[in-house]
């Protein structure tokens, strides 16, 4: 960052040792180290804030791009018309004999199946005699 060579750094340390003295040099180095740590913390905070701004601007650009692409797709492929209330689509599903044509029925959601199984289990548990043994009670010692 400052491009200080090792020989220049040793020269500065030697001059500091002569000017400040060996007794106060560790205190000075601790003080300088604390300030360097604070400066690094501020720089890291600034860098993370700057990175966050860049990420937000990239996200905005991507959202705008996706919105434009979505509008283009919606213009090219408009959504299908909503089903009518007169059930004409059901009439079309009937074949000539008046019976319903083979229309696949979607499976029930897992939550619904699970809830029904739990409700059925609870209903049979209420009517069936209990197989549990009563809990053992301990005699209190006095």
Residue 119 covered by a domain? no
- pLDDT at residue 98 tops 80: no
- Which pLDDT band holds residue 53 (cuts at 50, 70, 90)? very high
* pLDDT, mean of residues 47-63: 93
- pLDDT at residue 103 tops 90: no
- pLDDT at residue 17 tops 90: no
Residue 86 covered by a domain? no
Residue 12 covered by a domain? no
* Domain membership of residue 54 as a residue range: 28-78
- pLDDT at residue 68 tops 90: yes
Of 29-33, 44-48, 68-72, 119-123, the least confident: 119-123
pTM of the complete model = 0.39
* pLDDT, mean of residues 33-50: 94
Rounded to whole angstroms, the Cα distance separating 72 from 21 reads 75
Residue 131 covered by a domain? no
So what's the pLDDT on residue 58? 94
Quote the mean pLDDT of the chain. 78
For residues 117 and 124, is the Cβ–Cβ distance under 8 A?
no
Residue 23 covered by a domain? no
Residue 72 covered by a domain? yes
Residue 140 covered by a domain? no
**Distance spanning both ends of the chain, measured CA to CA:** 79
Structural domains of the chain, count? 1
Residue 137 covered by a domain? no
* pLDDT, mean of residues 86-115: 60
So what's the pLDDT on residue 43? 95
Counted residue by residue, the chain has a size of 142
């Amino acid at each position: 960052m400052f491009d200080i060579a090792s020989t220049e750094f040793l020269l500065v340390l030697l001059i500091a040792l002569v000017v400040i003295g060996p007794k106060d040099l560790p205190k000075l180095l601790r003080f300088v180290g604390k300030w360097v740590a604070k400066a690094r913390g501020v720089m890291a905070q600034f860098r993370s804030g700057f990175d966050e701004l860049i990420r937000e601007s990239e996200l905005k650009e991507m959202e705008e791009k996706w919105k434009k692409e979505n509008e283009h797709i919606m213009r090219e492929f408009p959504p299908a018309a909503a089903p009518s209330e007169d059930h004409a689509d059901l009439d079309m599903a009937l074949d000539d004999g008046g019976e319903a044509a083979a229309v696949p029925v979607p499976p029930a959601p897992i939550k619904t199946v699970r809830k029904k199984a739990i409700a059925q289990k609870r209903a049979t548990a209420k009517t069936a005699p209990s197989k549990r043994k009563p809990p053992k009670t301990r005699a209190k010692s006095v």
